[in-house]
Amino acid sequence: MTEAEKPGKASGALDPHSATPLYVQLANVIEAGIRAGSLAPDRPIPSENAMADEYGVARLTARRAAQELRERGLIVTVRGKGSFVAKNPPVQEGSG
């Protein structure tokens, strides 16, 4: 298994030494994917377990990141189905 194939390979996107909590950093990374179009409206975002594995964080951190994204209006969660990118995510502050 190469280094890139190991769980947590995307963890380089997060800085555990930052004053910004990991869940906020993770939410910011996912928001960037939504804004860039790599996560399209109505499409599912990775599950909490998948985010935890991909970014090398605890599942609770992934859960808090999802909650942060819901509060920002970027995702909606459907019980038993998962979380999806919102159809009309709010416009990013400072972009207009």
Q: Classify residue 16: in a domain, yes or no.
A: yes
CATH code (residue 64): 1.10.10.10
Q: Residue 51's pLDDT is what? A: 96
Q: Classify residue 92: in a domain, yes or no.
A: no
Domain span at 42 = 3-85
The rounded distance, in Å, linking the Cα atoms of 13 and 22 is 10
Helix (H) or strand (E) holding 65: helix 59-71
Q: Classify residue 91: in a domain, yes or no.
A: no
Q: Is the pTM of this model over 0.85?
A: no
Local mean pLDDT, 10-residue blocks, the chain (96 residues): 45 88 97 94 96 97 98 96 92 64
The residue among 15, 47, 34 whose CA lies nearest residue 74 is: 34
SS3 55: helix
How many domains, the chain? 1
